[in-house]
């Protein structure tokens, strides 16, 4: 089971740099996933030979990525939200866009929940009609 990713992770006072296995273990993801996020330009670890060295910033961005994915945001949406951190406006734009995107996502999920609840109710009613008109014999009872 993967760890819950929070949009804001407390800095680790015990270190400033992390290996790919450190972050993979902490966030319950594969090294391949980390390399994918790097290829997508979402995180930018330092390279020392073949080793990737992740910073506190990469770790915080990874938490945003995983939280965003978990709640259904596209990578493009996630990129937009985390890239706004670097605007130098005290994160005002980042907060405003993130709140807007979250509210939109909540509305979408609520509409989906309504549709799912309606589909479940319809299926339950359909099963009841079928069971009432053509009962299924209980095969566990002896004749």
pLDDT tens digits for range 87-135? 677 778 888 999 999 999 999 999 999 999 999 999 999 999 998 887 6
Residue 48 has pLDDT above 60, yes or no: yes
Mean pLDDT score across all residues of the chain: 87
**Mean pLDDT confidence for 48-73:** 93
Name the more confident of 19 and 138: 19
- How does 6-25 read in b/e, with b if 16+ C-beta sit within 10 Å? ebebeeeeeeeebebeebbe
Task: Give the per-residue pLDDT at 143.
Answer: 57
Residue 27 has pLDDT above 80, yes or no: yes
Residue 142 has pLDDT above 80, yes or no: no
Residue 62 and residue 20 in contact, taking contact as beta carbons nearer than 8 Å: no
Task: Give the per-residue pLDDT at 3.
Answer: 42
Task: Give the per-residue pLDDT at 47.
Answer: 92
Residue 41 and residue 86 in contact, taking contact as beta carbons nearer than 8 Å: no
* Matching residue, tokens 């992770």: 9
Task: Spell out the residues 6+ positions from residue 9 whose beta carbon is closer than 8 angstroms to its own.
Answer: 59, 60, 63
* Matching residue, tokens 């299924």: 136
Domains of the chain: 17-133 (1.10.1660.10)
SS (H, E, C) 8-64: CCCCCCCCCEECHHHHHHHHCCCHHHHHHHHHCCCCCCEEECCEEEEEHHHHHHHHH
User: Strands 51-55, 46-48: parallel, antiparallel or unpaired by DSSP?
Assistant: antiparallel
């Amino acid at each position: 089971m993967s760890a819950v990713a929070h949009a804001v992770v407390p800095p680790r006072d015990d270190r400033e740099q992390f290996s790919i296995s450190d972050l993979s273990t902490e966030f319950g993801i594969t090294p391949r996933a980390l390399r994918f996020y790097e290829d997508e330009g979402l995180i930018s670890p330092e390279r020392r030979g073949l080793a990737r060295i992740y910073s506190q910033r990469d770790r915080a961005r990874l938490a945003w990525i995983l939280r965003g994915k978990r709640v259904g945001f596209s990578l493009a949406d996630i990129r937009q939200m985390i890239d706004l951190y670097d605007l130098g406006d005290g994160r005002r734009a980042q907060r405003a866009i993130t709140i807007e995107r979250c509210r939109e996502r909540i509305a979408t999920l609520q509409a989906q929940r309504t549709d799912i609840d309606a589909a479940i109710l319809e299926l339950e009613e359909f099963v009841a009609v079928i069971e009432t008109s053509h009962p299924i014999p209980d095969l566990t009872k002896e004749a």
